[in-house]
Chains A and B, each alone.
Chain A
Amino acid sequence: MTRYLVERTFPDGLGLPINQQGADAAATIVAKNAEHGVTWVHSYVTPDKKKTFCIYDGPTPEAIRKVATRNGLPVDSIREVRVLDPYFYM
């Protein structure tokens, strides 16, 4: 599995409320991801909710794009990343 950073832009802001509706939407995304071997690890969202930086594990960038399309999510860029832990050196 490769780890990817996926950058997305939502011109009208990300609509994933913290309630049952939001939970359902997230669950749907997770289920559709799983069909293609993709795992959504977590995301960082800017305060205006117009930009997200999402960490994913997946087999290929094509799989990341495929689930994005299936979930109706935009993709600005996909980058392969590795973890760097500063406390590792202390």
Chain B
Amino acid sequence: MELLERDADTARLAAVFGAAKAGRGAMVLVAGEAGIGKTTFVRRFVETQTEALTLIGHCDPLFTPAPLGPLYDIARAAQGPLLAILDSGANRAALFSNILAYLQASARPAVIVVEDIHWADEATLDWIKYLARRLDSLRALLVATYRDDEPAPPLKQLLGELAGLPAVSRILLQGLSTAAVATLAKGKAIDPAALHRQTSGNPFFVTEVLADKSGGIPSTVRDAVLARAMKLSPDGRALLETAAAIGARVNPELLEAVLPAADAALRECIALGILRADGGIAFRHELARTAILGSVDPLRRRSLFRAVLVAAAKKERADLAQLAHYAEEAADANAVKRFALPAAKAASALGAHREAAAQYRRVLRFTDDLPTIERAEILEAFAHECTLIDDLAASIEAYREAAQIGANLNEPERQASALAALAWSLVRNGQNPAAEEASAQAVSLLERQPPSRALASAYRIQAHLRMLDRDRDAAVAIGTKAIDIARGFEDRETVAAAQLVVGAAMLVSGDDAGRAVLDDCLAAAGETGRDDLVALARLNIGSSYGELYRFAEAERELAAGIAFATERDLDHAAHYMRAWLAIVHMYQGRWVEAADLAAAVVDTSSAATVSRIMALAALGRMRTRRGDPGATAALDEALDLAASTATLQRLAPVRAARAEAAWLAGDPAKTIQEAKATLPLAIAHRHRWHIGEFALWLHLAGQDAGSIDECAEPFARQIAGDWQGAAASWRALGCPYEEARALSAGDAGAQLKALKIFNELGAVPAATMLRRAMREAGITSVPRGRRSSTRQDPSGLTRRELAVLDCIADGLSNKSIAAKLFIAEKTVDHHVSSILTKLGAANRTVAAKLARERRSGEADSAK
């Protein structure tokens, strides 16, 4: 059949592939409602690309699909090394990078198609994201099709993340026009306008109606399919129903096993056009299969699935997820358990945690008469998967039930291990007090038994809670116990995790010896392949330096950590480190970068609560300091979220930002209220930097700040009236805004200096406040506000990028630029690509030309 009204879309796809062949790999999302013709459109395009390596994978419409199903399709069809890669049992990271290497090594440009990703499992979605982020290294076009009506949350999240990538574009397929419908209906006794109205030009619906020779127009696509199927003989109908139960793609051997000697019936279905037989038997469209299966009465449906299950279970290399699906439809509890449990483990091993959780949930639903200890085990496995997909509510509930079973059966170890894990889910959900309780209960249960691995784990989690609460001594003492016991059991992962806690607790309280412990943790985590732990350690090192106002070190560690986490798609760690880097840049006076980073994290719906709190604190403070709107909204939300954690590390930055906002708004009463709210907590944890900042706000708002012995040095100096000393300390720490704030308390000369710094930063509210104070003090020559004449670079290039651009204009290579500017060559690469984007230059030659033009332009205007 002719493909109607798809010329423009086909041309777009061809143009993108053209660019991809030249080395600019790209992804195109093909979206549209069911039956709009996504598959046909993509298939036609692929057929014309005879010189390309074409790899096509399908996602199956199962409640819980097999992990990486489309990749297996692709591998089987390609018959090359891909299948070996998939069957190698390598972990997911290795798998993804091997497939990437395979594509990079391909002599031919590739078209990779993943069909129906609205049904994709989590691992497949992760693979698509992984590939989409690395397209620039490929001569490939990645095409993914999906139904755009109400995408499920995992797909929605992926689409959101893909939307930010320049290499990704979208084609939305539209329904056929009345003219096209008329072309199709030519020679039939049917009114094309009425047909178009009833079907909205949906090509599948239109062809279903046209296939029915009765001439009427059914009201839904389902009715159209069923009307066509009415014409089948009883044998044909039985075969069609069996095929519908088997699935979207009908395995011929399975069909033969369930319904032997049904060739005539099969031919009848194909002749009628409901099934097609080009390259395997399949329904012409999933809409047809759904309609047929939905018309089968429940009892017959169950017996159909029983027959399919029996036949499928005998097959070699049967797909576990498929079997679990048949078992559930057949309402066969034993079979559900037999197939869903291993399916869950297999899915988990491939990182398809959403599917693993769904398989466990299936087992739990079907087998509430399980021996209780087995149920507790499955509950724990289920809860663990839930933590990995951030379904913390379900995880908390399941761990609680598992702990309860342990208590009922008088199995303290089981109860305690569930409680310890529960504590961690509670912390991540921001319920710290409940977490403390669960963790303490776990430890007290296990301490009555001989030392065990479970005790080491429980100590580790308790130490982590103490560390998060900045309770150094307890964290180090309990963490050390965890290390000692775990060493006895040669449990290296728990040792590394406990080292992280001990090291971070030391470092964050200013004990540099913690760094060595963290380095041990990094080494151990790296050796055991625990990338997540490595990222967590880097995150803790970076944020610890940040809390200590050691911003140069914090920046270096966070940048390295972000690169590590991004490379491995460890998004949660990356989000948290970006939020912290925003805070660091704010103190460094790099406000554009700070606000953009913070806004980007706040804009990421998948960011965890803790990341969101830190990003909101940074964003709210940036808006406050620049006098921008939206500061109150950001800081109110931050306080709401931080209050539920009740921990110093979340509350302190938020309360400090709110105190500053109140101060700049000229509201000393509110400043005092905000500063006092968390000061006792900061004192309880002897956190000198937080105490110092709160004390300074009290002091500035006209309150007695109390003893300054507990305050960090720059704050203590300013409160004591030593503004020169305070300014010098801030300058040494590289914090221009804080330096200017200290200078504001000085003499007229210092105040002029402060005003200059505020103006350069764009700190409008602080500058306005200072000018008013100076005028009130009788200083007559107060300069006006910033006249905004500070010429910003018109293309938005940063100072560093301008320096790099200068070198490009001089014809230097990246290597020479790196040497000249004392930065890594990789950093230069990064700057260059950013410069090209901002200038809209295709390559560095064009950029160099633009730069030389700018130079001569500047020279002219200087004349």
Contact = CB atoms under 8 A, between A and B. Distances in A.
B788 A66 contact: no
Given A78-B628, A80-B630, A11 B789 contact: yes
B595 interface: yes
Contacts of B791: 72
Given A4-B629, A61-B630, A80-B629, A75 B596 contact: no
B28 interface: no
B630 A60 contact: yes
A79 interface: yes
Contacts of B787: 9, 11
B764 A74 contact: no
B273 interface: no
B796 A69 contact: yes
B369 interface: no
B788 A9 contact: yes
A4 to B, nearest CB: 7
Contacts of B623: 61
B793 interface: yes
B764 A77 contact: yes
B794 interface: yes
A75 B622 CA distance: 15
Contacts of A63: 599
Interface in B625-646: 626-630
A63 B630 CA distance: 12
Contacts of A65: 592, 595, 626, 628
Contacts of A79: 629
Nearest to A4: B629
A37 to B, nearest CB: 11
Contacts of A62: 595-596, 599, 619, 622, 628
A81 B791 CA distance: 27
B707 interface: no
Given A65-B592, A69-B796, A74 B788 contact: yes
Interface in B748-804: 762, 764, 785-796
Q: Contact residue range for chain B?
A: 20 to 34
Given A62-B595, A66-B596, A72 B792 contact: yes
Contact of A60 (B599, B788, B792): B599
Contacts of A11: 787-789
A75 B788 contact: yes
A70 B795 contact: yes
Contacts of A72: 791-794
Nearest to B764: A77
Nearest to A69: B796
A11 B762 CA distance: 17
Interface in A1-26: 2, 4, 8-12
A80 B628 CA distance: 8
Contacts of B790: 74
A76 B788 contact: yes
Contacts of B792: 69, 72, 74
Interface in B592-606: 592, 595-596, 599
Contacts of A76: 764, 785-786, 788
A46 B690 CA distance: 46
Among B627, B629, B764, B791, the one with the most A-chain Cβ atoms within 10 Å of its Cβ is B629
Contact of B629 (A8, A12, A61, A71): A61
Interface in A35-90: 60-63, 65-66, 69-72, 74-80
Nearest to A81: B629
A2 B789 CA distance: 27
B565 to A, nearest CB: 23
Given A76-B785, A79-B629, 8 more contacts: A9-B788, A10-B788, A11-B787, A62-B596, A72-B791, A74-B788, A76-B764, A78-B627
A11 B784 CA distance: 13
A69 B622 CA distance: 17
26 contacts: A9-B788, A11-B789, A60-B630, A61-B623, A61-B626, A61-B628, A61-B630, A62-B599, A65-B592, A65-B595, A65-B628, A66-B596, A69-B792, A69-B793, A70-B796, A71-B794, A72-B792, A72-B793, A74-B788, A74-B789, A74-B792, A75-B762, A76-B785, A76-B786, A76-B788, A80-B630
A11 B789 CA distance: 7
Contacts of B794: 70-72
Query: Which 4 pairs, one residue from A and one from B, show the smallest C-beta to C-beta distance?
Result: A74-B788, A72-B794, A80-B629, A61-B628
Contacts of B788: 8-11, 74-76
A3 to B, nearest CB: 10
Interface string B223-242: 00000000000000000000
A8 B790 CA distance: 12
A85 B627 CA distance: 27
B596 to A, nearest CB: 6
Nearest to B798: A69
Contacts of B796: 66, 69-70
Interface string B358-377: 00000000000000000000
A84 B595 CA distance: 30
Given A65-B592, A69-B796, A77 B627 contact: yes
Most buried by B among A4, A60, A62: A62
A74 B629 CA distance: 17
B663 to A, nearest CB: 19
B771 to A, nearest CB: 14
B17 to A, nearest CB: 25
A1 to B, nearest CB: 13
A10 B592 CA distance: 21
Nearest to A5: B629
Interface in B359-397: none
A80 B626 CA distance: 14
A76 to B, nearest CB: 6
